[in-house]
Amino acid sequence: MVWCLVTCLAFFTGRLYNMVNATKGVFISCDIPMAQYIINMNASLPASDKFIIHILDNTHMFVQPHVEQMIRSRIAKFREDNTYVKPN
């Protein structure tokens, strides 16, 4: 999984009415199953706590920056719970 902190900037075009809305977020690039896991995490939350800003395609999305560590820890726990360890 690739994590990139993305800061969007509004560029002044010379006209006051052509301002750009910008949102700061974290760009996530992952495989399709992991993206679905993150989307399902988001869907299980109440509307006020939803963290996905925009889903770009099946493997890329922007999320709010304050949930980055929560997503990382949930994915780590998911991987730990679903990893087979051969008994000795």
Rounding to the nearest 10 degrees, give the CA dihedral for residues 41, 59, 79, 88. Answer: 150
pLDDT for 35 beyond 90? yes
Domains and CATH numbers, the chain: 26-82 (3.30.70.1220)
Would you state the pLDDT for residue 15? 52
Mean predicted lDDT score pLDDT of the chain: 82
Q: What is the pLDDT of residues 42-71, one digit of tens each?
A: 999 999 999 999 999 999 999 999 999 999
Question: According to the model, what pLDDT value does residue 55 have?
Answer: 94
Q: Residue 81 above 80 pLDDT? A: yes
Instruction: Tell me what the mean pLDDT of segment 31-41 comes to.
Output: 95
Inter-residue contact 75 to 37 (CB < 8 Å): yes
